[in-house]
Amino acid sequence: MSDEWDYWRRRRRSFIDPFRYIEDMINDMLEDMERMFREFERVPIDEKELERRGVKVYGPYVYGFRLTIGPDGRPVFEEFGNVRRVRGRPVITEEREPLVDVIEGDEEITVVCELPGVDKEKINVEVGEDKRTLIIKASDTNRKYYKEVELPSEVDPQSAKASYKNGILEVKLKKTKSEKKGYSIKIE
């Protein structure tokens, strides 16, 4: 009964002082979050026990996103890390999806990819059969990366040049001069 009375007391106060009501709500949320964090810290996590039960342990968990404005003026939302959504649920994978920038010039396309902590010899870069996809794979003892990058136009795989320095992979690809795929139809 006291919770109901407290709710109505706050509700009545909100008509008088709405800012105090909002402040009380924020304080309640902070108290709830602090309580949840204290409970979470009490639960011991033993990776060996989880593995014995058949639960595969990945780590660390990496998730991030980047929001940029594309060349057409529309926002572009890009996720990276090893946490992905499959059918609306988060799924932890062993491979991380790195951050990638695609820069299109007049004659070539440059792809810049962040692959920290991987040796140059452990990186594999391929152009897909459609010549519009760049596949980046990297695996080291602690880290695995995988990303399929959609390119804005067809490229010549023979012209590819890649360099890797300080955890940054840069791949330059020349665009192919493709003929028009369609043709004009005369209207009678």
- pLDDT of 40-64, one tens digit each? 666 556 667 767 777 666 667 778 8
Q: Note whether 71 and 89 are same-domain residues.
A: yes
Structure tokens at 101: 């920038």
Q: Note whether 103 and 158 are same-domain residues.
A: yes
Tens digit of each residue's pLDDT (9 = 90 or more) over 87-136: 877 777 778 888 899 999 889 999 999 998 899 899 999 998 888 899 99
Is residue 184 in a domain?
no
Is residue 185 in a domain?
no
For residue 7, what are the domain limits? 2-42
Q: Are 134 and 171 in contact (CB under 8 A)?
A: yes
Radius of gyration of the chain (CA): 26
Is residue 51 in a domain?
yes
Amino acid (one-letter) located at 125: V
Please name which of 95, 31, 22, 28 lies closest in space to residue 58, comparing C-alpha atoms. Answer: 95
Q: Note whether 90 and 154 are same-domain residues.
A: no
pTM > 0.75: no
Q: Is the pLDDT of residue 140 over 80?
A: yes
Please name which of 138, 142, 141 lies closest in space to residue 168, comparing C-alpha atoms. Answer: 138
Stronger pLDDT, 157 or 82, i.e. the higher one: 157
Name, in order, each residue with C-beta under 8 angstroms of 144's C-beta and a sequence gap of 6 or more: 94, 95, 96, 138
What's the CATH code of the domain at 165?
2.60.40.790
What is the C-alpha separation between 57 and 49, in angstroms, rounded?
10
Please name which of 10, 12, 35, 34 lies closest in space to residue 24, comparing C-alpha atoms. Answer: 10
Q: Note whether 110 and 121 are same-domain residues.
A: yes
Q: Note whether 62 and 25 are same-domain residues.
A: no
Hey, CA dihedral for 70, 79, 66, 75, is it positive or negative?
Answer: positive
Q: Note whether 114 and 65 are same-domain residues.
A: no
What is the C-alpha separation between 146 and 136, in angstroms, rounded?
6
Strand, coil or helix: what is 141?
coil
Q: Note whether 133 and 166 are same-domain residues.
A: yes
Is residue 182 in a domain?
no
Domain tally for the chain?
3
Strand, coil or helix: what is 81?
strand
Q: Note whether 61 and 18 are same-domain residues.
A: no
Q: Note whether 50 and 31 are same-domain residues.
A: no
Q: Note whether 85 and 141 are same-domain residues.
A: no
Using CA atoms, how far residue 50 sits from 21, 92, 93, 112, in Å, is: 44, 15, 17, 38
